[in-house]
Amino acid sequence: MVLKLYYDLLSQPSRSLYILLKLSKIPFEQCLVSLAKGEQLTKEFAETKSIFQKIPFIHDGDFRLNESVAIVRYLSRQYTLDDKWYPKESKKQAKADEFLEWNHSNVRLNCSTYFIVKWRNPLISGKQPSEDRIKSLTKYMEKSLTDFENIFLTNGPYILGDNLSYVDIHAACEIEQTRVAGYDARNYSPKIKNWIEHVRSECNPVYDEAHKFINKLASMHGEENKSKL
């Protein structure tokens, strides 16, 4: 039975899993879940697909698993996931895990909060956040980006050193998201710009394919939002 990935390319961890599965050539069935239509919010979805009512998740036969980081670790044990994507060597794996855990309360929390408050919530409510709120969220986000640069982009062109791994894809997909809300981290940090362009180039054409919708939204809303900065 083929692995099923439930995802929407508007979601950061959905994109990172989609890119990983494509690049590692693990066969999978693409099961789209539309966040815009709220398809994940029904009772039937909770019962038949995922009680978490969030994406991404997988069905591997009868086994259901949520949370992108847990899924990548599972794939590394159950499937032929090359060591370069998620290292088997214990200390290198620990360093991959260290970033993936740190990320939750830092880059992910602060970039996704910025995206939600500045772009998603106004789209739903029609109300814009105050300038003070955006200023404060930008401060937190830039602190996380600075920490990311100072702690994790010091061992080589990639987070784990000389080679691209899933960890870079996971981080890049998160950082790309704020472009939809008019903030491009490439303009904040030349080091992040250089790193993210390396990640994109190594993952292409899959990276651009996964970011097609994000790029379209960024081009629609980016210009409009720039004037508010």
Nearest to 169 by CA among 120, 214, 138, 206: 206
Q: Pick the stretch among 24-32, 72-80, 170-178, 219-227 that binds a second copy (CB under 8 A).
A: 72-80
In the bound state with a second copy, the residue whose beta carbon lies nearer, of 75 and 203, is 75
Per-residue x/- track, 106-145, a second copy (CB under 8 A): --xx------------------------------------
Q: Decide if residue 100 touches a second copy (CB under 8 A).
A: yes
- Measured between alpha carbons, how far is 75 from 68 in angstroms, rounded to an integer? 10
CB nearer a second copy, residue 142 or residue 209 = 142
Which residues lie below 8 Å from residue 131, measured CB to CB, with a gap of 6+?
Answer: none
Q: Going by C-beta distance under 8 Å and a sequence separation of 6 or more, which residues neighbour residue 58?
A: 3, 4, 5, 6, 64, 65, 71, 74
Q: Which is nearer to a second copy, 65 or 117 (CB)?
A: 65
- ∠ CA 205-107-174, nearest 5°, is 25
**Nearest approach, Cβ of 20 to a second copy (angstroms)?**
16
For residue 32, CA distances in Å to 4, 58, 73 come to 10, 12, 22
Handedness of CA 129, 131, 134, 136 (dihedral sign): negative
Distance CA 13, CA 170 (A): 7
Among 30, 42, 78, 204, binds a second copy (CB under 8 A): 78
Give the one residue of 22, 26, 35, 102 binding a second copy; rule: CB under 8 A: 102
Report how far residue 18's alpha carbon sits from residue 132's, in angstroms, rounded to the nearest whole number: 36
Which CB atom, from 98 or from 209, has the smaller least distance to a second copy? 98
Tell me: does residue 73 bind a second copy (CB under 8 A): yes
Task: Pick the closer one to a second copy by CB: 62 or 224.
Answer: 62
Site residues for a second copy per CB under 8 A: 51-52, 63, 65-71, 73-74, 77-78, 90-91, 93-95, 97-98, 100-102, 104-105, 108-109, 150-151
